[in-house]
Amino acid sequence: DQQVKQNSPSLSVQEGRISILNCDYTNSMFDYFLWYKKYPAEGPTFLISISSIKDKNEDGRFTVFLNKSAKHLSLHIVPSQPGDSAVYFCAASEYNFNKFYFGSGTKLNVKP
């Protein structure tokens, strides 16, 4: 009964191309979404977030899209760089709760 799902365990992309990481959720009470990036032997680091009142948020090469009706969000990385190779987690939070529900992660490999 995982409420946040990342159905692609891994993704391989050529340097310079677009990386698209997907995330689905089931809980309609979620209203805040975040993407975290994790390198081996390090803790997750915050990447980008989006509130449910928006459908897009952009920060440099990273853009997050939210489709509330489909309960789907995606992270676009353009252009992808080898240093982007890491595990990416999406996370969601309910209104008035301060804990995250995480997906199982997608391992991104950007090939030079």
What residues make contact with another protein under the rule CB under 8 A?
4, 6, 9, 32, 34, 36, 41-46, 49, 89, 91, 93, 95-105
Tell me whether residue 69 or residue 98 sits nearer to another protein (CB atom). 98
3 state DSSP class of 84 = helix
My answer on whether omega of the bond before 112 falls inside 30° of 0, hence cis, is no
CA distance 86 to 106: 8
Tell me whether residue 77 or residue 89 sits nearer to another protein (CB atom). 89
Q: Are 33 and 92 in contact (CB under 8 A)?
A: yes
Tell me the closest approach of the beta carbon of residue 96 to another protein, in angstroms: 7
Tell me whether residue 13 or residue 47 sits nearer to another protein (CB atom). 47
